[in-house]
Amino acid sequence: MDNTTWIGLTSIGSAALCMTFGSVAPALGEAKALQQALSAIAQQPDEAGSISRTLFIGLAMIESIAIYCLVISIILIFANPFWNHFITRAAAGQGG
């Protein structure tokens, strides 16, 4: 296998791992945050508005981690900076 194939396989594997951990970990964090918020609302129903507002801000922050992982995966697959380097080297090696 040549270097271009290895870069492709590594990029796809890295993108898959990034999306795996980048979607499972935030999902577990969101579930834990929701569990704690519901417990807090059950104990103090008068503070439900404040707790809900804080929960939504926290969930947005947690969800941004998954979005960042999606962006990294898209970059690894479609805009990988190593592709041009190895394709240029492969073309120079065949032509020279």
Instruction: Look up the pTM and report it.
Output: 0.72
What pLDDT is attached to residue 96? 42
pLDDT above 50 for 95: no
Do residues 2 and 90 touch, judged by C-beta distance below 8 A? Answer: yes
Spell out the residues 6+ positions from residue 86 whose beta carbon is closer than 8 angstroms to its own.
3, 4, 7
Q: Can you name the CATH fold of 3-88?
A: F1FO ATP Synthase (1.20.20)
What pLDDT is attached to residue 94? 60
For residue range 64-87, list pLDDT tens digits in order. 999 999 999 998 888 887 777 777
In the structure encoding, which two tokens stand for residue 34, read together?
């929701």
Residues making up the chain, counted from first to last:
96
User: How far, in whole angstroms, is CA 67 from its chain's centroid?
Assistant: 6
